């Protein structure tokens, strides 16, 4: 079975990890600090704060911004659960906004309708490594004086205009899970140009310990272990080449899939801006005798993994305590969740496996097209 994702590790990561394991310094040390400095510098951000997951980064960034009980944060209705659930640990409520039909990010035209006097942050997601429409989103943010925290969990080195995603809002967060263009296994990063926000995030990450076990306010253990910091530094060096490979695989896929009626290839604002953390297609239910779930099982029978990233969030049980969202305002995300699936893409995907993915998709199309 060709997997959806695979880490790009070799002897360099093994060497980095063993170096730390044979040292005496396992947390809050020089490797993680160097990883932070190198990550910030690559992105052109002033500060980077390493944590133990992208979800922790979402939680710490929102806590550092002062989000608390009774507040609301606006999130896209199609994203990973923690974009929305992190705020709930602070007593805040996620409000679901529809996505656009091209970049699948937060729809700036529907954003204002989600803002109330309780809104304390807007969290756009750069889905699959294609940036959301940050100019229009930032315009709404400025008009209402509400800060933007970018969920750049998937969009390492992706760009909007001249800036890297994650550096356009007051803060941006990244994830380093194994499907991402760089991975530390688990891990995350917060980037910001605001020194006070960075300071508060660092403090929250480590129990808000003012020194010598003086705990003045609420923090917790969100620290990144040194082993992961050391692996992260190696992965960061490989990141530009890993993304180049992903772009070239995506371009091969799109060349073929763009010719299949009823199959929509990913929207690309500018080829050099998309990192292709995911390669997501949509299938028109009228064009084939099978629906999206049928596509997924047909591809599986041809040894190709595929999966919906992500379902809609508004009807998930975890959010059932909040007032029901109006579904007519979420039509793009609802249509997306019925027709989208992502295909294998990762830096070490061999040419022959790329061919196998292409052949499988073309074969299912040929067999079931109406
Ligand atoms: C958009 C988005 N937000 C947040 C996360 C959470 O990151 P993590 O899995 O590192 O907690 C992920 C990845 O899983 C993601 O894709």
Distance (angstroms) between ligand 1 centre and the Cα of 52 equals 12
Does the annotation count 110 as an active-site position? Answer: no
pLDDT 10s digits, 35-80: 999 999 999 999 999 999 999 999 999 999 999 999 999 999 999 9
Tokens 């996505």: give the residue.
99
Q: Tell me the pLDDT of the chain averaged across its residues.
A: 97
pLDDT average, residue stretch 135-154: 98
Shortest-distance atom of ligand 1 to CA 176: 10
Nearest to 243 by CA among 153, 155, 151: 155
pLDDT at site 269: 96
Nearest to 197 by CA among 67, 43, 92, 76: 67
pLDDT 10s digits, 291-325: 999 999 999 999 999 999 999 999 999 999 999 89
- How many domains are contained in the chain? 2
Distance (angstroms) between ligand 1 centre and the Cα of 155 equals 11
As a whole number of angstroms, the distance between CA 239 and CA 183 comes to 10
Distance (angstroms) between ligand 1 centre and the Cα of 24 equals 31
Choice among 110, 120, 180, 238 that is catalytic:
180
Same domain for 243 and 224: no
CB 314 within 8 A of CB 298: no
pLDDT at site 212: 86
CB 84 within 8 A of CB 319: yes
**pLDDT over 90 (residue 177):** yes
Same domain for 248 and 230: no
pLDDT at site 225: 98
Q: Is residue 292 part of a domain?
A: yes
How is 229-293 classified by DSSP, letter by letter? HHHHHHHHHHHHHHHHHHHHHHHHHHHHHTTSTTEEPPP-S-GGG---SSEEEEE-TTTBSS-HH
**pLDDT over 90 (residue 211):** no
Encode 176-192: b = buried (16+ Cβ within 10 Å), e = exposed.
bbebbbbbbbbbbbbbb
pLDDT 10s digits, 231-284: 999 999 999 999 999 999 999 999 999 999 999 999 999 999 999 999 999 999
Q: Which element (helix H / strand E) includes 72?
A: strand 72-76
pLDDT 10s digits, 77-136: 999 999 999 999 999 999 999 999 999 999 999 999 999 999 999 999 999 999 999 999
Same domain for 361 and 268: yes
Shortest-distance atom of ligand 1 to CA 58: 4
CATH code, domain carrying 264:
3.90.1150.10
Distance (angstroms) between ligand 1 centre and the Cα of 368 equals 34
CB 116 within 8 A of CB 72: yes
Kindly list the protein residues whose Cβ atom lies closer than 6 A to any atom of ligand 1: 53-55, 79-80, 82-83, 125, 151, 153-154, 175, 177, 188
SS3 sequence of 132-176? CCHHHHHHHHHHHCCCEEEECCCCCCCEECCEECCCCCCEEEEEC
pLDDT at site 320: 96
Same domain for 362 and 308: yes
Neighbours of 119 (CB within 10 A): 20
Which structure tokens are listed for 274? 């998309």
pLDDT at site 258: 98
Max Cα distance, the chain (Å): 71
Which structure tokens are listed for 77? 């209705």
Q: Is residue 6 part of a domain?
A: no
Same domain for 246 and 191: no
Q: Give, for ligand 1, the residue of 154, 185, 222 to mutate: max count of ligand atoms closer than 8 Å to Cβ.
A: 154
Which structural domain range is residue 200 located in? 11-235
**pLDDT over 90 (residue 202):** yes
Same domain for 144 and 203: yes
Q: Give, for ligand 1, the residue of 173, 175, 224, 342 to mutate: max count of ligand atoms closer than 8 Å to Cβ.
A: 175
CATH code, domain carrying 37:
3.40.640.10
As a whole number of angstroms, the distance between CA 268 and CA 345 comes to 16
For ligand 1, atom 10: residue with the closest CA: 54
Same domain for 203 and 267: no
Among 207, 235, 263, the domain-final residue is: 235
Q: Is residue 1 part of a domain?
A: no
Distance (angstroms) between ligand 1 centre and the Cα of 43 equals 19
């Amino acid at each position: 079975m060709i997997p959806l994702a695979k880490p790009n590790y070799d002897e360099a990561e093994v060497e980095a990890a063993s170096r730390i394991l044979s040292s005496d310094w396992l947390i809050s040390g020089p490797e993680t600090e160097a990883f932070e400095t190198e990550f910030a510098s690559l992105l052109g951000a002033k500060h980077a704060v390493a944590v133990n997951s992208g979800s922790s980064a979402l939680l710490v960034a929102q806590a550092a911004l002062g989000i608390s009980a009774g507040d609301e944060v606006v999130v896209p209705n199609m994203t990973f659960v923690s974009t929305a659930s992190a705020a709930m640990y602070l007593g805040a409520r996620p409000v679901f906004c529809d996505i656009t039909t091209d970049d699948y990010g937060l729809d700036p035209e529907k954003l204002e309708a989600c803002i109330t006097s309780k809104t304390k942050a807007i969290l756009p997601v750069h889905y699959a490594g294609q940036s959301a429409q940050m100019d229009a989103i930032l315009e709404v943010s400025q008009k209402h004086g509400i800060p933007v925290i970018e969920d750049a969990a998937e969009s390492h080195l992706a760009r909007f205009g001249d800036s890297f995603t994650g550096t356009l809002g007051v803060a941006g967060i990244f994830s380093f899970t194994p499907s991402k263009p760089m991975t530390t296994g688990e891990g995350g990063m917060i980037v910001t140009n605001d020194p006070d926000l960075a300071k508060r995030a660092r403090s929250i990450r480590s129990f808000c310990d003012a020194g010598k076990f003086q705990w003045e306010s609420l923090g917790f253990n969100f620290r990144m272990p040194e082993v992961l910091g050391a692996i992260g530094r190696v992965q960061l060096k490989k990141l530009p080449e890993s993304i180049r490979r992903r772009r070239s695989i995506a371009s091969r896929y799109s060349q073929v899939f763009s010719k299949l009626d009823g199959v929509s290839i990913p929207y690309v604002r500018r080829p050099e801006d998309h990192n292709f953390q995911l390669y997501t297609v949509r299938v028109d239910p009228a064009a084939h005798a099978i629906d999206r779930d049928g596509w997924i099982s047909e591809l599986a029978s041809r040894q190709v993994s595929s999966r919906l990233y992500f379902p809609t969030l508004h009807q998930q049980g975890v959010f059932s305590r909040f007032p029901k969202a109006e579904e007519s305002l979420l039509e793009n995300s609802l249509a997306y969740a019925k027709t989208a699936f992502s295909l294998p893409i990762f830096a070490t995907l061999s040419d022959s496996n790329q061919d196998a993915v292409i052949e499988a998709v073309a074969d299912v199309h040929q067999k079931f097209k109406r």
